[in-house]
Amino acid sequence: MDLGIKGKRALVCASSKGLGRGCAEALAEAGVNLVMNARGAEALEATAQHIRDTYGVEVVTVATDVTTEAGQAEVLQAAGDVDILVTNAGGPPPGMWSDWERDDVIKALDSNMLTPIALMKALLPSMMEKGWGRVVNITSQSVKAPIPVLGLSNSARAGLTGYVAGTSRQVAPHGVTINNLQPGIHATDRATSLDQGVSSAEGISMEDAKARREATIPARRYGTSMEFGRTCAFMCSQHAGFMVGQNILLDGGATNSTM
């Protein structure tokens, strides 16, 4: 399917690896030029060069911490008037409610709620002026069904979801859509970290920890970054202009919910 976005320009955050990389690659596959951001310069540039060589699109890299004001200013300067924004950030650490202090909560909000909001506030006006734009926020299945050990993620991402619910309907008349993509477990460093936590806590092998988690997923496997990325690319396409303020769950059926 031709997504109809060849020649558009996208800012993709946290895109050197994992789900962000999957989104960047899928957009490049559709002919979209990229501004890629991540903290680690070496991994970011390696991924960017792979995308340039494979898909022949223009790729600008910005190695900075986008959760800081200085990092946001740097990324936004490079982004200019992009047509597409994909926000993404690693999830806060797991733990119990009794483990966290105020600073831990603020850090989670900065990363998973306030940074996406700041980027949207900066980039939406130019999209609205052009009469076309796409925003996809990578959130989590925990917004749909909270995960007890991920309380920081549950709360921060739920706050972003509430913000998008209202804002998306305000910008839709201008041809701009905002939606959220909710990943379940995918084969990324995040999944490895979670499996390692189970392995260490319960004294079982990583293979057993992964197998146990896979058994809770009806698809009986972890997702891949490219199938996630291609879902994101469709949400950024010309064909998704009637999708407004939605939360698209991509979890292999793991979240037991009717809606």
Report whether 184 contacts 254 (CB < 8 A).
yes
| The pLDDT of residue 98 is above 90 | no
Q: What is the structure's pLDDT at 93? A: 80
pLDDT in tens, 17-70: 999 999 999 999 999 999 999 999 999 999 999 999 999 999 999 999 999 999
CB atoms within 10 A of CB 172: 16
Contact criterion met (CB below 8 Å) for 178 and 164: yes
Three-point CA angle 231, 109, 259, nearest 5°: 40
Q: What percentage of the chain exceeds 90 in pLDDT? A: 77
Least confidently predicted of 71-75, 95-99, 130-134? 95-99
pLDDT at residue 147 in the model: 83
What whole-number distance in Å separates Cα of residue 74 and Cα of residue 136? 20
